[in-house]
Structures are given as C-alpha cells and as structure tokens.
Amino acid sequence: MSTVAVEVTPTLPEVHYLNADYGWRSWLFTTDHKRIAWLYLFAITGFFAVGGLMATLMRLNLIEPQGLLMEPASYNKLFTAHGLIMIFFFLAPSIPTVLGNFLIPIMIGARDVAFPKLNLLSWYIFMLAGSVFMFSVIRGGVDTGWTLYTPLSTTYANGHVMSAAMGIFISGFSSILTGLNFMVTIHKMRAPGMTWFRLPLFIWALYATSVIFILAMPVIAITLALIALERVFHVGIFDPALGGDPILFQHLFWFFGHPEVYILILPSMGVMSELVAAGCRKRVFGYSFVAFSSVAIAAISFMVWGHHMFLSGQSLYAGFVFSALSFAVAIPSAIKVFNWTATMHKGSVSYDAPMLYAIGFIGLFTIGGLTGLFLASLGTDVHLHDTYFVVAHFHYVMVGGAIMGYLGGLHLWWPKMTGKLYPEAWARFACLLIFAGFNLTFGPQFILGYLGMPRRYDVYPPEFQVLNVMSSAGASILAVGYLIPLIYFTWSAFKGPIAGPNPWGAKGLEWTIPSPPPTNNFDETPIVTEEAYAYGPEEAHVG
Amino acid sequence: MLYDFPLKPPEASTLSVEWDYLYYFLTALTIFFSGLIFAAVFYFAVKYRRREKDEVPPQNEGNLMLELTWTIIPSLICVFIFVWSAHIFMRASSPPAHATEIFVVGKQWMWKVQHPEGPREINQLHVPVNEPVRLTMTSEDVIHDFGIPAFRVKRDVVPGMYSTEWFEATKTGQYHLFCDQFCGMGHSSMVGTIFVMSHEDYSHWLSSQLNTKPMFASGELLYTQLGCNTCHTPDGKPGVPPLAGLYGSEVKLQNGKTLTADDAYLRESILGPEAIVGYPPTMPTYQGQLNEEEVLQLIAYVKSLGPPGERKATKQ
C-alpha cells in the first residue's frame, strides 16, 4: 500500500507529546494544546461523518423527481440538521480548533496557548453543545432550515427547536473562548523577534477569525435567546401575529450569519498561504497584501448582511448599499487568489498532496467567489435567490474552499502531528477524486438554479432530473473521496513510515522541532531573526 | 429522457430578456477569469514543477504595480456590474402605474389568488399576455416567496405586510410557480402554474368563473356584516374618519406626520387601529377576526369609494 520512499531512516524522538503520558485521564484532562487539537479532531470528524451521511441521504432522495426515499418531513429535518451540523459543529471549529490549536503556539515559538485550561474548557463546552444538539436530532429533529427564519421557528415549527437552539447557543461560548485564547496568545506569547510581519499568514488569518468569533457569536446567542422568549413565553418579537417583526430576525441572524461564513473560509485561506509557500518553497507573493486582505475581509464582513435580504422586504436603498459593500468584500478575496497564483510563478512546484489540495482550492474557490458576484448583484439575485444556484455557490466556497483547505492542511501537518507519513499515492488519488466528485456534485446545481429549482425541495419537476442525477452521482464519488483519507490516515498513525522533523523541506518554526513535538514544543525559546517563508539559500536558519 | 433536458429556463417576460443579458455577461466574466486563473496555475505547475528534491527557487518579494493592477481592475468591473444590476433591480421593483392588480395570499401550503373582478384561484394564476401585472402579496402565517422562473421574478411574501412583485408576460403558455422561501413541511408542494393567456382568452376565462362577485362587493358585504357601517357611515360622523375618498389621500397623524392612505395603512388601521395614531383609539381591533383575503376585500371596498376628488359610482 505504501508507496513513499523513505530516506535515510529518520527516527522518532524518544519522548514526545503523544507518549509523554498514558491513559484516558492524560487525554481528557490534558491542557496540552496539541492533545486538545486531537480531541477536537476526533469530535469534528464524527460530526462531519454525521453531516455527510445526511447529505448522502438527501442526494439519494433527489435521484427521483418524486423523491426516492422519504417523506418531506424527514427531508426537511435532514437538510436542517446537515446545515447546522456542518456549520456549527464541523466547519467553524475545523481549522481553528484542530490546526489552529496545534500550530498557533508552535508557529509563534510559544510553549502553549495563553490559557491552557480555558482551551480544554472550550472543548468540553463544545462537546456539551454537540451533545445537546444531537439530542434534539435524535429526539426527532428540527425542520426550520439552518436559518431558523421566524415566525416559522417561533410559532409554526413543531420540531425540537429549543434544544437545537440551545446546542448552538452553547457552542457559541466555546468559539468565543477559543477566539479569546488565540487573540491573547498571538498578542502576548510570540517568541523574541517574532514581529507581526514575520508571522506566518496562517496566524494572520486565524487572528482575523478570532476577532469575528468574539464579535459575531454573541449576536447569534442573543438572537437565539429572543427566539426562546417568543417560542416559550410568547413575547411578541418576530411574529407579526404577536406584534413582532419577522424581518428583524433576518437582520439579527445575518448580522451574525455573514461574518460566520468568513469564520468558515478565512482559516482555510490562512492554510492556503502555508500550503502554497511550502509547496513552491517560496515566500508568499505580496505577503502584506495577503495579510491585510484577511483583516479587510473580517472588517467588511460585518457590513454586508443585507445581501441575504434583497427580496425580503428591506428597503430598496438598503439593498443598494449592501450590494455595493458585498462587491467590496469580493476584492480582498480576489487579491488573495491572485497572490497565491503569483507565488507559483518561478517556484519549485511540488505535486505532493498538500500542494494538489492548494491547486484544487484555487480552482474551486475562484469559481465559488465569481459566482458570488451573481448573488451580490441586485438584479441577478431577483431570480437566483433561494435556488440551487445559491446552494452551488456556497458549497463551492465552503466545501471547495474551506474543506479543501482543511484537508490540505491536515496533509501538510499530519507528519508533524503524528511523526508518520501517509501513503502519498493514495493521498494524491483521493485529492483528485474529491476534486472530480465535487465538481460533478455541485457544477450541475448552478444550472439547476438558473432553471429555477428552489432549494429545500424534496421533490421537483421531472425536467430537472438529469442534472439532479448527475449531482447525486458526483456526491457518491465525493463520499468515497472523503473515506479514503480516513482509512490511510488511520493506517499511517499506527504503521506509517517515520517522517522526520521536516519531510517537506519547508520553512517555519514548526518544522524546526521534532515530529511529533515534545510536550513543551521548544526546549529553549527560539529567537526569530528572519521573515516567514525565508526560503532563499543565503538566509540563515532560525535559531 | 434527454428530450426534456433544458439548460435554460423559458424567457417569457419583458424582464427575463434584460435579466438574461446580465446573466450571460456575468457567466462570461466567470469563465474568463476562472480560465485565466486555471491557465496560469496549470502553466506554472508544469513549467516550474519541482525537478530536484532539494531545489530552492529564487525568491521574490512581490510587486506593488501588480497588486494595484489586480485590485483596481476587478474593482472597476464590480462598479460596472453594480450599476447594471441595480438598474435591473430598480425596474424589477417599480411596477408601472397602469398595471393590472391581482392579490396573492400565501398560506401553509397553498397560494390563494384573488382577481379584483372576483375570480379566485388556488395554486394557479391566470394572467393576460403583454400587459403589466402587479401582485400585492401577503401571508397568513410564515414567510413564503412567490417565484416565477420564466419571468425572472421573485419576492418574499411576509406576514404582517404587503409586498409587491410585477411582470409583463410576453409569451402565452404555462409556467412554474414555486414557493422559494422555506415555509415548513409542505414547502415543496407549495407550487403551482402560471397561465399566460391572450387578451381574449383571459377575458373569456374571467367571465366564465363561477364566483364573479368583484372583490369590492365582497368587501362591502363584510363592511355591513362586521358593523363597520355603524360608525363609518356614508355621511361621516364626528371623530370618525370618512371612508369615501380616503384611499390614496394624505392622512395627518396626531404626531404631525402625514402618511399616504395606501394598502398598508388601511390594513394596519383595520387590524390594529391603536397603531395608527391619527384618531382616538375607539375602534376595536379586528386582528384574528379577519383573514388576509377579507382584509384585502375590505381595502378593495374602501378603494372603490374613490380616490380624493372623484368619488366613483361604485354600485353595480
């Protein structure tokens, strides 16, 4: 199975963070950021599997225009749970809590995050939130859509809205604490010489994400509390029958919701910069433009929420403002894509799995970003709003962007996390399969949306069947593509060849320490004397 | 199966043609820029592929001119798209004054349509071709959305307020009607058919409907049944707003502001009179006693009493 040629027998360090301590207590009560990253990795892989299974069932149902498998009630619960699980329990935590937890302290030359116990508490809060949410799913689920629009969610829905909302409410606290922890860590724990403009771009992206965590999560918490007030105590806030305003809910929800989607994509953009730099052995082109575009995205993301509401009854002029601002947020994303592409110019481009994921990301995110223009523009949104075009667009960004970045990052740093290599040929194959399966799944959905097929339909007119079958076929390929890494990563953790400290020949503090790293990361605090991605042959090593 | 495999929805309204031009432009733009990026990525990936395990390429800090170029050009393109699409949106949001008015009430999970002439439909809408049609829409319960892909129009139908949507159909035929805002269990069955008919067929259809009592007449019946006429007498009583000539007039509120007495004002006044501060709160609320269709009929009745200045003869 293994196809990797191992060079002159690197050896595992005798003591490292994985074998420093044994027993379940050493994991469940650990304050080591690297072990906490593993706790998250297991949890979110579980949530991804559940959310993915739900997507598979939906795609199966849509093979037939009349619905192959289920009643509308079940279908509605599936897409609601799929959305909520993927957003709150997989994508939002994915890169920050797994790769971020593992790498932020190491990349800045610290021994741990600023508040290690708080870091563990975040995980427990996350698990509590996930359990409460899964309880609501098992008890019968919710059929409101992930957007929880009122008055459907407050007055008319019969499902377990309150326990689902409670799960999301709790998860917000986990995210806030993680964001706070990361911000303080990045501010206060940088090694001597690690100035802001020597930080890897991954750190910049996660810093921007942490700001959004802290500012946006309280808004969803407040909004969910208002839902509870109306649903349980019949206080008229959103339901016009009680004297409320249903559009108010949308303003509150999207004031959180749009920054939230940047919580999902920004970390992946950070990973991308690392993948491209390591994959081309080159300093990221236009470092400061890439860094500041993360900050610009975080800032503008709070001012574009109304583009979800062009047709909701919000004022025409509000629509103009939100449309213009939405175009403005597209520019920093475009800048990033151009700079990553330019980094490849005259680089030393590797064809290893992490770089393949990076190339896949550039392709899919470009399409995802450009199709966003159709929805930011007022005129086209009149027809495309709430159709499969929207579904395709955000899956290109969220799956094609965020998940490709997450998987690429996992492949880049897997040798660091485990000290082991994975079978490179299988990894390349899985990456290609995911890329192909993804495009077959979501490409046809753009056309379905243009034809007018609404989202959240379990049945549809027969003329949409061919495209739906194509999409479902793609989903099955995508599912296989996701299963393969699960298998070879598991194999690699136990039987994989030993990686050595720097299997990629990459730059960055994380590659200067053993794989797996010792519990305290650095025996001596490193002193940083050079910029990030100092690949030039003449430059001195970190030391 | 391939015989029924469209890649393009029917183009059946004045807006759809204009809309499609913008759509084609954006599609071309997407293909062009994706193509540019893909080509660059593939070219670089092949040309600069890693040839030796330890090779380190020459380094490069970036280039300010390039950064400015790829910031400014996309920004200008975005401004261009913004202006174009805002123009289309303005058009889609401004119904012509002479448009035929039809009323739509969304309800879990059906569309109820009332024509001013009387006919009512469920999950169907008959409209004449080549005539602008304005829909005044509201919902009995949750938010729905009245979308007609062939016309490229769509608008949320929100409880507690009126939203409007308009189109001018250009081709006779039958087209899909979808509820586009998730509205609960039966969302996917809240679909229907738009019938675009020639002018003659439409008139014939209107007159062949069984329920031919016009909306304002149904409204007048409610007006007496609910006892509105005890206070709102035709001659007017002191302290009671006269209904004749009310619709479309300027109403002065107690706080000094003026409002136009439009559909939304009348609905608000009927359902929650305390919310309108122009008069002492003596009128009881009809919230919960009237459904949205009845409210629309009452408004039609008030409207039939004539705009200011020209009181129409309203009785049949």
The residue type of A52 is G
Q: How close B182 comes to chain A (CA, Å)?
A: 7
A341: nearest Cα among B15, B103, B234, B42: B42
Task: Select the more confidently predicted residue: A87 or B234.
Answer: A87
Whole-number pLDDT of residue A2: 42
Q: Chain B contacts of A387, Cβ < 8 Å? A: 149, 180
Provide the number of CB pairs (under 8 Å) joining chain A to chain B.
283
A529 within some domain: no
Cβ pair A378, A444 in contact under 8 A = no
A467 within some domain: yes
Q: Chain B contacts of A455, Cβ < 8 Å? A: 182
Report the CATH number at residue B162. 2.60.40.420
Q: How close A38 comes to chain B (CA, Å)?
A: 31
Among A524-538, B61-75, B165-179, the range scoring the smallest mean pLDDT is: A524-538
Query: Smallest Cβ distance to A450: which of B9, B88, B150?
Result: B9
Is A379 in Cβ contact with B89 (below 8 Å)? yes
A10 within some domain: no
Searching chain A, which residue's CA lies closest to the CA of residue B18?
A379
Cβ pair B106, B297 in contact under 8 A = no
Whole-number pLDDT of residue B1: 43
Which residues touch A178 (CB under 8 Å, ≥6 apart)? Answer: A93, A96, A97, A100, A119, A122, A210, A213
Same domain flag for B236 and B188: no
A542 within some domain: no
Whole-number pLDDT of residue A490: 97
Query: Smallest Cβ distance to A348: which of B30, B55, B186?
Result: B55
pTM: 0.93
Q: Chain A contacts of B49, Cβ < 8 Å? A: 348-351
Structure tokens at A53: 């299974």
User: Which of the listed residues B178, B208, B238 is the one where a domain comes to its end?
Assistant: B208
Is B184 in Cβ contact with A143 (below 8 Å)? yes
Q: How close A508 comes to chain B (CA, Å)?
A: 15
Q: How close B20 comes to chain A (CA, Å)?
A: 9
The count of domains in chain A is 1
What is the average pLDDT across B175-191? 95
Q: CA end-to-end span of chain A, whole Å?
A: 38
Is B5 in Cβ contact with A377 (below 8 Å)? no
User: Which of the listed residues B174, B208, B242 is the one where a domain comes to its end?
Assistant: B208
Is B93 in Cβ contact with A316 (below 8 Å)? yes
Q: How close B14 comes to chain A (CA, Å)?
A: 14
3-state secondary structure of A530: coil
Q: How close B310 comes to chain A (CA, Å)?
A: 32
B104 within some domain: yes
Is B5 in Cβ contact with A458 (below 8 Å)? no
Is B147 in Cβ contact with A454 (below 8 Å)? yes
The whole domain housing A173 covers 30-512
Is A505 in Cβ contact with B19 (below 8 Å)? no
Which residues touch A256 (CB under 8 Å, ≥6 apart)? Answer: A216, A217, A219, A220, A223
Searching chain A, which residue's CA lies closest to the CA of residue B179?
A454
Is A319 in Cβ contact with B62 (below 8 Å)? no
Report the CATH number at residue A407. 1.20.210.10
B19 within some domain: no
Is A311 in Cβ contact with B141 (below 8 Å)? no
Pairwise CA distance, residues A359 & B268, whole Å: 57
A11 within some domain: no
Whole-number pLDDT of residue B248: 84
B264 within some domain: yes
Whole-number pLDDT of residue B258: 81
DSSP run (H or E) holding A414: helix A404-418
pLDDT at residue B255 above 90?
A: no
Q: Chain A contacts of B6, Cβ < 8 Å? A: 451, 463
Cβ pair B137, B295 in contact under 8 A = no
Q: How close A484 comes to chain B (CA, Å)?
A: 25
Cα–Cα–Cα angle for B154, B156, B159, rounded to 5 degrees: 150
A6 within some domain: no
Is A378 in Cβ contact with B66 (below 8 Å)? no
The whole domain housing B128 covers 100-208
B62 within some domain: no
CA distances from A501 to A413, A428, A543 (A): 11, 22, 15
Cβ pair A170, A129 in contact under 8 A = yes
B40 within some domain: no
B229 within some domain: yes
User: Which of the listed residues B208, B229, B262 is the one where a domain comes to its end?
Assistant: B208
Which residues touch A248 (CB under 8 Å, ≥6 apart)? Answer: A237, A238
Same domain flag for B220 and B184: no
Cβ pair A195, A129 in contact under 8 A = no
Pairwise CA distance, residues A302 & A317, whole Å: 18
Q: How close A522 comes to chain B (CA, Å)?
A: 26
B186 within some domain: yes
Provide the phi-psi class of A313: left if phi over 0, else alpha when psi is between -120 and 50, else beta: left
A440: nearest Cα among A466, A399, A470: A470
Whole-number pLDDT of residue A138: 94
Same domain flag for B183 and B234: no
Is A346 in Cβ contact with B92 (below 8 Å)? no
Cα dihedral across residues A77, A79, A80, A85: positive or negative: positive
A363 within some domain: yes
Q: Chain A contacts of B86, Cβ < 8 Å? A: 320, 323, 378-379
Dihedral angle at the C-alpha atoms of A106, A109, A112, A114, nearest 10 degrees? -120
Mutate to test the interface with B, among A377, A445, A464, A471 (most CBs of B within 10 A): A377
Q: Chain B contacts of A280, Cβ < 8 Å? A: 48, 57
Same domain flag for B201 and B108: yes
Is A247 in Cβ contact with B154 (below 8 Å)? no
Searching chain B, which residue's CA lies closest to the CA of residue A341?
B41
Whole-number pLDDT of residue A542: 41
Searching chain A, which residue's CA lies closest to the CA of residue B185?
A73
The residue type of A250 is Q
Cβ pair B34, B190 in contact under 8 A = no
Cβ pair A472, A62 in contact under 8 A = yes
CA distances from A199 to A58, A77, A202, A285, A537 (A): 43, 43, 8, 15, 20
The count of domains in chain B is 2
Same domain flag for B144 and B233: no
pLDDT in tens, chain A (543 residues): 444 554 567 888 889 999 998 999 999 999 999 999 999 999 999 999 999 999 999 999 999 999 999 999 999 999 999 999 999 999 999 999 999 999 999 999 999 999 999 999 999 999 999 999 999 999 999 999 999 999 999 999 888 999 999 999 999 999 999 999 999 999 999 999 999 999 999 999 999 999 999 999 999 999 999 999 999 999 999 998 888 999 999 999 999 999 999 999 999 999 999 999 999 999 999 999 999 999 999 999 999 999 999 999 888 899 999 999 999 999 999 999 999 999 999 999 999 999 999 999 999 999 999 999 999 999 999 999 999 999 999 999 999 999 999 999 999 999 999 999 999 999 999 999 999 999 999 999 999 999 999 999 999 999 999 999 999 999 999 999 999 999 999 999 999 999 999 999 999 999 999 999 999 999 999 999 999 999 876 544 443
In sequence order, the β-bridge partners of residue A485 are none
The complex's ipTM works out to 0.91
Mean pLDDT in chain A? 93
A309: nearest Cα among A222, A386, A242: A386
Same domain flag for B182 and B232: no
